[in-house]
Amino acid sequence: MRMSKAESTIVGIFLGFACIWLSFVTCWWTAAIVYAIVGGISVNVVIVSALAGLMAGIVLDILFLRRWILGFYAASLWLLAGLYTALCVLAVASFMGLPVGTFSAKSNVLGGWLPSLTC
C-alpha cells in the first residue's frame, strides 16, 4: 500500500516520537527502580540512564524509522495494540498532576462555592 507524503509524515512523527519517548521512560524508570531497590548507587545513575535511553531512542529512529514507516500498515495488530497501550499508560503518567476534571462548571461551582459558604 502506497502512502501519501502527508500520511507518511504523520506516521513518521508519531513513530519517531513514540520510540524516543518509550526508550527514555523505560530506561529512566528501570534505573529508578534499581536505585530504589539496591540503594547503594548514586542518583546520577538514574539521570545517565534516562539520557542513555533518550540517545538510544534517537539512534533507533535514525536507523529504523524509514523501515517502520514503510511497514506501518503491514504491522501486526498485537504490536500496534501494545504500542498504543504503552503510550496510553505514559500519557496518563506524564500528565498525572494536571487537574483535568476541575475545568467543568459543575466542578468549579461545587469546588468554589461550598468551601466559601462554610467559612
Separation in Å, CA 113 to CA 71, 107, 118, 119 = 55, 10, 9, 10
Answer whether residue 89 is part of any domain: yes
User: What is the pTM (predicted TM-score) of this model?
Assistant: 0.74
Range of the domain at 72: 5-98
Answer whether residue 112 is part of any domain: no
Number of independent structural domains in the chain: 1
pLDDT at 69: 92
What mean pLDDT is predicted for residues 62-71? 93
- 25-48: per-residue pLDDT in tens? 999 999 999 998 987 888 899 999
pLDDT at 97: 73
Radius of gyration of the chain measured on its C-alpha atoms: 21
Answer whether residue 58 is part of any domain: yes
Answer whether residue 12 is part of any domain: yes
Answer whether residue 51 is part of any domain: yes
> What region does 113 belong to: left with phi over 0, alpha with psi -120 to 50, or beta?
alpha
DSSP result, 3-58: PPHHHHHHHHHHHHHHHHHHHHHHHHHHHHHHHHHH--S-THHHHHHHHHHHHHHH
